[in-house]
Amino acid sequence: MLAFAPEASAFPGQALRLGGVRPQGPATRSVTALHHNPAMLATLRRAAFQIAVTAAAEQNVVRRYAIDPDTGEPTGEMGTRTSLLQPGFDYFVGGSLHFDPIAIGLGIYTLGTTMRIASADALRYHLAPDPDRGCLRLGTDACPPNGGQVSYRHDITGAIAYDGGPFQLGVGIHFPVLRERFAFDEDTSLGSRGTSDTTCTDKEDPACAERVGFKGWTRWVPPSGAPPGFDAALTFGVGVQLANDTISLGARYRTFPLRRAGEVVLAGVALVCRPDPETDSPAAVPACSAATPTSATLRERVPQEVALGAAFLLGRNREWHLDLNLYWIDLCQGGAARASCDDDGGQTLRLVGLDRRAFALPEFTRYRGLQDVYGADAYVTYRAHARAAVLFAGHGSTAMVRRVASSAGAADGAKLGLSAGAAIRLRPGARSRVTLVLSPGYGLDVTLPRRVRPAEAAYSPAAAADFAASGGDINAAGADSVLAGLARSTNAGRYFGLTHSFTLALSWGDVLVE
């Protein structure tokens, strides 16, 4: 069954509620098996369809350490508490057809997306506030990337499954579409040590800031000179049905995108400009209100994934349904250890035609400090009535960003979440051939508090000053940090977050309510 979805913005999180608050996972008989385990599509022994939408509100609370104006280094005093409210939207649309013993499916859905468009002046060196929050459209002629941050991904997925009775096999092909938009300020005074051509006497002086912004996406038909962004990943799944179909076991493995061993390329535009229009100098780049975007490309990696699941029907009349899932997302590529890897999620940004007056380099790394994510979900369904079921779920996952790298733009710590909802049968008539199930729900996710102490912060303004004092010697102190994207204003502070999610799913052809 074909599936279509309109343009959507982003939702914070790891897609724990791909199908709303309904049960989902590698052993779940659901259309969301398109992502979780394509083999389980073969257990839906009739046509099935599902659409789910989620509206979210994410609150990030940041309290940054005060800095020494002479060096930019954090002091022992805490600064002002800042609360940022970010909106979000998520969706899943998919369907499947069963031709015994083969099932096929097609869907489109968002996955692992974050949206942060609100910030504050003290946090702008990692997340610049968006001067026009409603202007997030793609294209090169509108909505310049002069603020905010959006990391958006949706997958177009096709799958085929084989039903072998007690076992199922499936394979899915995914075409990831990535969109990135980010903007942050560089403290140009960090590069002025040892020179006399600057009027900046303090670090993080608004008069000595340069905004760096990018927006782009994986273009399947790239513009002239840009690399192609088309790529595909595969998912292999297996399912096993035991004890008269009261126990289901499932597993999936999802590959890296295949073309570049996991690396994808986004083509777009970049903006390097002066955020403070009051400061004007022939040696400075243009103000953001008058700057012209330049062509740019961004390279980043997309992870592989492994997941295991088990589902149980319990009770005398099978009125209880329990789904348990474990998953690993290989964000820190190079091994299974969470923080031991060859690639920590850094993005390589290349700017074409960069203004020679710019402080930013024409090619540099944007450090993100990612690490592997391990998580678990538990879904409990109680069929209270022939027309209704009650849904509960619990979620937990490790931090996707190393604690020392937490910042206003990447405060993604360990998460704990709860979900609750209901499944209501809309057409229970015996003669009706179409049984629609409506599933409203609510979820609350807590990003556990994290504290980055001044002595352990990953971002160091001293490294940039040392590198500048050496005259740009790549063998000098601070050079490695500069090349790795760590020589920026400090990220020392405290971070905490809450996300409220309101979900609504509509399905047909499943067996959640019989």
> Among residues of the chain, what percentage have pLDDT more than 90?
55
Q: How far apart are CA 410 and CA 368, in angstroms?
A: 7
**Cβ neighbours of residue 232 under 8 Å, at least 6 residues apart?**
173, 174, 175, 176, 257, 258, 259
Q: What is the pTM of this model?
A: 0.89
Asked, for residue 54, whether it belongs to a domain, the answer is yes
Q: How far is CA 362 from CA 283, 296, 442, in A?
A: 17, 10, 45
Q: Indicate the DSSP class of residue 222.
A: P
Whether pLDDT at 481 is above 90: no
Domain with 188 in it: 33-508
pLDDT band at 260 (very low <50, low <70, confident <90, very high): confident
Q: Which residue has the tokens 């090619």?
A: 363
> What would the two tokens of residue 261 be?
């061993």
User: Lowest-pLDDT range, 190-194, 206-210, 274-278, 283-287?
Assistant: 190-194
Q: Is there a domain that residue 87 lies in? A: yes
pLDDT value at 397 more than 60 = yes
Closest CA to 439 of 34, 157, 17: 17
Structure tokens at 471: 């005259």
Of 189-198, 228-237, 257-266, where does mean pLDDT reach its minimum?
Answer: 189-198
Other beta carbons less than 10 A from residue 497's beta carbon: 22
Residue 298 lies in a domain: yes
The model's pLDDT over 167-190, given as tens digits with 9 standing for 90+, comes to: 999 999 999 999 999 999 999 888
pLDDT for residue 115: 86
Could you tell me if residue 122 is inside a domain? yes
23 found inside a domain: no
Q: Within 13 Å and on the Cβ side, how many CA atoms surround 4?
A: 1
Average pLDDT of the chain?
87
CATH number at residue 411: 2.40.160.60
Q: Look at residue 19 and tell me if it is in a domain.
A: no
> Is residue 206 situated within a structural domain?
yes
277 within a domain of the structure (yes/no): yes
User: What is the spatial distance between Cα 473 and Cα 228, in angstroms, rounded to a whole number?
Assistant: 35
Rounded to a whole number of angstroms, the CA Rg of the chain reads: 25
> Is there a contact between 185 and 123 (Cβ–Cβ < 8 Å)?
no
Query: What integer pLDDT is reported at residue 361 of this predicted model?
Result: 85
Count of structural domains within the chain = 1
